[in-house]
Amino acid sequence: MEDMIAIELAVIIVAMFAIAVGFDCIKDGMCDIGAVIHDIITAPVRHYRQKKLMEQMEREWENYLEKNRAKMVRNLMKEQQRHFSTSIGEKHTVEEWGKALEEFAEYQCQQDKEERIWQDHIMDRFMRRI
């Protein structure tokens, strides 16, 4: 008898809760819980598939690079040559290039002189010891 009263009381409480909250909220909550459980169960399979897909994409990319390496290098060299030839004409004149080469030659001569001076100092030190 007491069990029946407890069951009836539980049914009344659940019915009042369902009326107060609404069946849609309960349905949505159960769907959300089911989705979370589904995600937890299928996560390892999903990660495994993503990993395999990434490995396959990497292999395809490496194969593409191997097959088209010469073509890509050729295109890159053409583009660089075109860019270099246009940048010389636009940015610098022949006189500027000549002046830059003269300055570099002077710098090189100065470096050679300094190197010879250091070599002479080193040779003097070693020759004095002998």
- The pLDDT value recorded for residue 5 is 86
Percent of the chain with pLDDT over 90: 18
Query: Could you read off the pLDDT of 60-81 as tens digits, one per residue?
Result: 999 988 888 888 888 888 888 7
Task: Look at residue 99 and tell me if it is in a domain.
Answer: yes
DSSP 1: -
Give the pair of three-digit tokens for residue 102.
């003269």
Nearest to 100 by CA among 28, 11, 91: 91
Domain encompassing residue 100: 93-130
Task: Look at residue 116 and tell me if it is in a domain.
Answer: yes
Task: Look at residue 77 and tell me if it is in a domain.
Answer: no
Q: How many domains does the chain have?
A: 1
How many other C-beta atoms lie within 10 A of the C-beta of residue 88? Answer: 13
Task: Look at residue 87 and tell me if it is in a domain.
Answer: no
Task: Look at residue 127 and tell me if it is in a domain.
Answer: yes
Task: Look at residue 111 and tell me if it is in a domain.
Answer: yes
- The pLDDT value recorded for residue 115 is 77
Question: 23-91 vs 2-21: helix axis angle to the nearest 10?
Answer: 40
**Residue 112 to residue 28: CA distance in whole angstroms:** 84
Task: Look at residue 72 and tell me if it is in a domain.
Answer: no
- The pLDDT value recorded for residue 28 is 81
Query: Could you read off the pLDDT of 93-122 as tens digits, one per residue?
Result: 667 777 777 888 888 878 778 778 877 777
Task: Look at residue 129 and tell me if it is in a domain.
Answer: yes
Contact 18, 26 (CB under 8 A): yes
